[in-house]
């Protein structure tokens, strides 16, 4: 029996709007058929929420209203269930293409392009995400096509969100806030770090009070003394202790839309150094929010932070954030010195002020923000404080 359609995150019209923008860019680049392989871009253009290891391709053509998704056979029903497209637009390829050195899922994508008769002119590929071997396969088997590199074409379109997407980002932010507040409840001296992590992770799945559950959770980061100088590791097998500092970076996820937040916790009174670092970061964060408005650039926002925090004695080497949306990090604009991307309403950024200052000392704070018509607002709303537990 046919699988039903899931309740959709967005109306059909929203997907057609996104696709129209992609098609317009395809026309500009003389591309008849675009093959999208980035998972975040597939989610953005179809609503699919599957997590698949197998090769796949979403084919957008100028002539067809709906795109076609080519996936491993066991993944067909999941894509039909979540995506907005007609079920005939999901093509399942045989298991014979899996773990096979000669033929793989990209052969199924190429077969589709050839059968559909769209392989004689421009074919766009996200070459930046493809292995050399995969790129070679497309070039060899599509010898009549002109291969056009379309890396990040869809990513640059999704950098500006619709109001419908912002609504979902707000739900994601509320989940992130809930998990941060849960952290402030469960981090206590003598508790195993992992036992607290279990509660925080459960809060991330359960979601905000009265709100929807989250799915497709990403592991969160929790770096406790003496590991606060590390950026991307998780909890240890230790217990929390009096005087420990805990740096947390976590996300709320809704239909794969992600809002991230960082907060620092101190068990007992924070050291003077930690307090000063916090004050400089909060001042910098507020300066960055003030600087963020349409017409200004990513560079302006980053430098507002750097100027302010440096005037208070704190230097940060890394960038101040990046575009955020489907699947956390969008590979487009950075809040960084020299990034001249112009801000537009409904861009969202993870204003990420994690600062790993010494090998054994770091501090984190961040908000997920939205550019408004006149400025910027934080979507994450947990108290902007150094939590003393």
Q: Are strands 33-36 and 122-125 parallel, antiparallel or unpaired?
A: parallel
Instruction: Select 28 or 232, whichever has its Cβ closest to a copy of itself.
Output: 232
One residue of 47, 105, 207, 270 binding a copy of itself per CB under 8 A: 207
Q: Does 30 bind a copy of itself (CB under 8 A)?
A: no
Q: Does 144 bind a copy of itself (CB under 8 A)?
A: no
The single-letter DSSP state of residue 285 is: H
One residue of 12, 20, 29, 74 binding a copy of itself per CB under 8 A: 74
Positions in 51-70 near a copy of itself (CB under 8 A): 51-53
Instruction: Select 279 or 361, whichever has its Cβ closest to a copy of itself.
Output: 361
Please state the closest distance from residue 226 (CB atom) to a copy of itself, in A: 6
Distance CA 253, CA 349 (A): 15
Could you check whether the bond before residue 61 is cis, i.e. omega within 30 degrees of 0? Answer: no
Please state the closest distance from residue 63 (CB atom) to a copy of itself, in A: 28
Positions in 93-112 near a copy of itself (CB under 8 A): 94-95, 98-99
Distances (CA, A) of 174 to 348, 368, 383: 15, 11, 12
Q: Are strands 321-325 and 90-93 parallel, antiparallel or unpaired?
A: unpaired
Please list the residues that pair with 59 across neighbouring strands. Answer: 35, 68
Size of the site for a copy of itself (CB under 8 A): 81
One residue of 19, 26, 49, 365 binding a copy of itself per CB under 8 A: 49
Q: Which of 14, 112, 23 is nearest to 61 (CA)?
A: 23
Q: Does 237 bind a copy of itself (CB under 8 A)?
A: yes
Q: Does 89 bind a copy of itself (CB under 8 A)?
A: no
Distance CA 177, CA 381 (A): 6
Q: Does 189 bind a copy of itself (CB under 8 A)?
A: no
Please state the closest distance from residue 384 (CB atom) to a copy of itself, in A: 22
One residue of 1, 88, 140, 143 binding a copy of itself per CB under 8 A: 1
Instruction: Select 120 or 201, whichever has its Cβ closest to a copy of itself.
Output: 201
Q: Which residues are within 8 A (CB) of 382 and not within 5 positions of it... i.e. 6 or more apart?
A: 176, 177, 180, 181, 261, 263
Positions in 245-304 near a copy of itself (CB under 8 A): none
> How many CB atoms are located within 10 Å of the residue 152 CB?
17
Sign of CA dihedral 123, 129, 132, 134: negative
The answer to whether the beta carbons of residues 380 and 367 sit under 8 Å apart is yes
One residue of 44, 106, 112, 235 binding a copy of itself per CB under 8 A: 235
Please state the closest distance from residue 380 (CB atom) to a copy of itself, in A: 20
Distance CA 54, CA 76 (A): 12
Structure tokens at 36: 């999208």
The answer to whether the beta carbons of residues 278 and 363 sit under 8 Å apart is yes
Instruction: Select 207 or 270, whichever has its Cβ closest to a copy of itself.
Output: 207
Instruction: Select 20 or 198, whichever has its Cβ closest to a copy of itself.
Output: 198
Structure tokens at 79: 């894509």
One residue of 121, 206, 276, 293 binding a copy of itself per CB under 8 A: 206
Please state the closest distance from residue 230 (CB atom) to a copy of itself, in A: 4
The answer to whether the beta carbons of residues 145 and 121 sit under 8 Å apart is yes
Instruction: Select 133 or 140, whichever has its Cβ closest to a copy of itself.
Output: 133
Positions in 298-357 near a copy of itself (CB under 8 A): 317-319, 322, 329, 334, 336, 339, 354, 356
């Amino acid at each position: 029996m046919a699988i039903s359609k899931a309740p959709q995150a967005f109306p059909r019209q929203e997907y057609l709007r996104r696709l129209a923008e992609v098609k317009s860019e395809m026309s500009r680049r003389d591309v008849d058929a675009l093959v999208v392989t980035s998972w975040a871009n597939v989610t953005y253009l179809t609503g699919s929420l599957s997590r698949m290891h197998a090769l796949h391709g979403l084919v957008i053509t100028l002539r067809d209203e709906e795109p076609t998704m080519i996936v491993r056979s066991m993944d067909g029903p999941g894509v039909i269930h979540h995506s907005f497209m007609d079920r005939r637009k999901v093509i399942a390829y045989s298991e014979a293409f899996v773990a096979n050195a000669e033929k793989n899922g990209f052969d199924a994508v190429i077969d589709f392009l050839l059968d559909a008769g769209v392989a004689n002119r421009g074919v766009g590929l996200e070459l930046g995400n493809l292995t050399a071997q995969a790129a070679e396969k497309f070039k060899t088997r599509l010898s009549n096509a002109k291969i056009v590199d379309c890396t990040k074409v869809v990513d640059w379109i999704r950098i500006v969100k619709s109001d419908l997407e912002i609504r979902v980002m707000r739900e994601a932010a509320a989940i992130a806030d809930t998990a941060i507040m849960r952290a402030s409840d469960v981090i206590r001296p003598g508790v195993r770090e992992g036992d607290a992590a279990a509660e925080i992770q459960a809060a991330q799945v359960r979601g905000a009070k009265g709100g929807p559950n989250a799915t497709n959770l990403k592991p969160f980061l929790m770096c406790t003394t003496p590991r606060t100088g590390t950026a991307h590791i998780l909890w240890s097998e230790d217990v929390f202790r009096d005087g420990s500092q805990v740096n947390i970076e976590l996300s709320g996820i809704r239909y794969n839309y992600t809002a991230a937040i960082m907060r620092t916790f101190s068990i007992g009174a924070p050291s003077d150094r930690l307090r000063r670092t916090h004050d400089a970061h909060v001042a910098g964060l507020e300066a960055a929010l003030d600087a963020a408005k349409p017409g200004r650039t990513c560079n302006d926002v980053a430098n507002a932070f750097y100027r302010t925090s440096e005037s208070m004695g704190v230097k940060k080497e890394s960038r101040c954030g990046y575009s955020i949306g489907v699947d956390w990090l969008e590979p487009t604009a950075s809040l960084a010195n020299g990034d001249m991307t112009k801000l537009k309403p409904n861009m969202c950024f993870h204003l990420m002020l994690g600062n790993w200052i010494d090998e054994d000392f770091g501090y984190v704070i961040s908000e997920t923000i939205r550019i408004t018509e006149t400025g910027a607002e934080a979507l994450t709303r947990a108290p902007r404080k150094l939590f003393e537990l």
